[in-house]
Amino acid sequence: MSEKKEYGHRKTKAMKITVRIKPNSKENKVEIAGNNEYILRVKEKAQDGKANAAAIKTLSEYLGIPKARISIIRGHTSRNKIISIDK
């Protein structure tokens, strides 16, 4: 799924993915669960946004893109999240 966002005079496309976070895991790992669905295992605990930050870092390393292009749209306090990846 993609949508166009306007930033000033530029239009960019963003891809949305569904992510299930599994905090306090043994290792940081990305698993593909389906079409645009991922499971992210992160070492950090789910408190004070640490798991969210670790999820963004793990996903950016997996995709080979900067962390600045990844943002959580929905689910900041839930394990189920919708994440936007700017192109």
pLDDT tens-digit series, residues 45-72: 999 999 999 999 999 999 999 999 999 9
Name which residue leads in pLDDT, 19 or 1.
19
- The answer to whether residues 16 and 83 touch, using CB atoms and an 8 Å cutoff, is yes
Q: How far apart are CA 72 and CA 15, in angstroms?
A: 12
Terminal alpha carbon distance of the chain: 13
Q: What is the third-level CATH fold of 16-86?
A: Conserved Hypothetical Protein Mth637; Chain: A; (3.30.1200)
Domain segments of the chain: what residues?
16-86
Q: What is the pTM assigned to this prediction? A: 0.81
